[in-house]
């Protein structure tokens, strides 16, 4: 059994008020919650910093919690929710980003199960094979390298692993990180007190805080790229078209 928390921050540089953007008559954050409700989760909670998002969630019958506005990351926001909800330390919580209205419920289940199966890990996430050199070299595409136990060695915006010789690239598939996470509540309480690290600031990747402090992250490999999230007005137009078809 696991919970889903959808962190929904109102401010967005490229798309102001993003969680409330309309998608075929329904606010985006509600679309996300509705997808999460199709998973095996026992509960879906929207965690927000804005009264309008709270009211929209309540009007659609989705549980929501007002959280502090000064959280550094979505994980910090989820840690506040887990503490205030008094969820037990062994409970698994999945972080579904508030701008993923097409998130596959099966992927939510897989990430939760990956963490349940790996007792050494405190977190889990997902990745899929990269089939394009353009994606491998794109700094907006986060890559992950795994160890023999299918745990993360490192995440980077750089092309990792980097093939020194062109021939070494043949037949080898790098892995693209998918931004979905599961945590045990006990670790979420620890995470909230872990110092921010230079690595996560340099790469702008919050999961590097976990690796830096010596914790393990289990990774599920899915064969297919997930549906696109919404970061830009162009992304929003595409998703709106998909829902209206």
User: DSSP readout, 97-160?
Assistant: -TT-TT--HHHHHHHHHHHHH-TT-SEEEEEEE---HHHHH-TTS-EEEE-TTSBEEEEESS-S
In a domain, 82, yes or no: yes
Which one, of 152, 150, 114, 121, lies nearest residue 2 by Cα? 114
CA-based angle 138:140:143, to the nearest 5? 75
Q: For residue 234, is it within any domain?
A: no
Domain of residue 55, CATH code: 3.90.550.10
User: Which tokens hold the place of 159?
Assistant: 């092309």
Which pLDDT value is given to residue 11?
Answer: 76
Which range is least confidently modeled, 9-13, 15-19, 232-236?
9-13
Q: What is the pLDDT at residue 79?
A: 92
How many other C-beta atoms lie within 10 A of the C-beta of residue 243?
A: 13
Does the pTM surpass 0.85? The reply is yes
236 assigned to some structural domain: no
Q: What is the pLDDT of residue 168?
A: 62
Mean pLDDT of all residues in 204-223: 95
- 242 contacts: CB under 8 Å, gap ≥ 6: 102
Q: Enter the tokens of residue 174.
A: 């790098």
pLDDT at residue 217, rounded to an integer: 98
Confidence of residue 94 (pLDDT cuts 50, 70, 90): very high
DSSP state of 19: G
User: Does 238 map to a domain?
Assistant: no
The answer, yes or no, to whether residue 119 has pLDDT greater than 70, is yes
Secondary structure element (H or E) that encloses residue 238, with its range: helix 233-244
Can you say whether the dihedral through the CA atoms of 177, 17, 3, 206 is positive or negative? Answer: positive
**pLDDT for res 71:** 83
13, pLDDT greater than 70: no
The pLDDT assigned to 63 comes to: 96
pLDDT in tens, 147-200: 999 999 999 999 998 877 766 666 678 999 999 999 999 999 998 889 989 999
| The pLDDT of residue 15 | 79
**Domain hosting residue 84, numbered range:** 2-227
Residue 245 has pLDDT above 90, yes or no: no
Residue-level pLDDT at 167:
64
Query: Given this model, what pLDDT does residue 17 score?
Result: 87
Q: Is residue 239 part of a domain?
A: no
Q: For 38-73, how does the pLDDT look when each residue is reduced to its tens digit (9 = 90+)?
A: 999 999 999 999 999 999 999 999 999 999 888 878
**What pLDDT, on the 0 to 100 scale, is given for residue 106?**
96
- Residue 42's pLDDT is what? 97
158 is a domain residue: yes
Q: Report how many domains make up the chain.
A: 1
Domain assignment of residue 243, yes or no = no
Q: Is 207 left (phi over 0), alpha (psi -120 to 50) or beta?
A: alpha
Residue 230: pLDDT over 70: yes
232 in a domain, yes or no?
Answer: no
pLDDT of residue 149: 97
> Residues 207-225: what's their mean pLDDT?
95
């Amino acid at each position: 059994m696991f919970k889903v928390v959808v962190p929904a921050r109102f401010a967005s540089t490229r798309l102001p008020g993003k969680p409330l953007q309309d998608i075929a008559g329904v606010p985006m954050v509600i679309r996300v919650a509705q997808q999460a409700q199709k998973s095996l989760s026992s509960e879906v909670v929207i965690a927000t910093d804005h009264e309008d998002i709270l009211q929209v969630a309540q009007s659609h019958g989705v549980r929501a919690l007002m959280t502090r506005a000064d959280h550094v990351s979505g994980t910090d926001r989820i840690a506040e929710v887990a503490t205030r909800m008094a969820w037990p330390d062994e409970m698994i919580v999945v972080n579904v980003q508030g701008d993923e209205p097409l998130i596959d419920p099966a992927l939510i289940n897989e990430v939760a199960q990956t963490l349940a199966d790996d007792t050494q890990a405190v977190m889990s996430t997902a990745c899929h094979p990269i089939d394009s050199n353009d994606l491998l070299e794109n700094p907006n595409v986060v890559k992950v390298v795994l160890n023999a136990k299918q745990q993360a060695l490192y995440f980077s915006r750089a092309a990792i692993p980097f093939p020194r010789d062109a021939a070494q690239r043949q037949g080898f598939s790098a892995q693209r990180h998918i931004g979905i996470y599961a945590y045990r509540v006990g670790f979420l309480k620890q995470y909230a007190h872990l110092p921010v690290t230079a690595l996560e600031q340099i790469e702008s990747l919050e999961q590097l805080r976990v690796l830096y402090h010596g914790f393990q992250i289990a990774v599920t490999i899915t064969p297919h790229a997930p549906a696109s999230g919404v970061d830009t007005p162009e992304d929003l137009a595409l998703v709106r078209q998909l829902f209206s078809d």
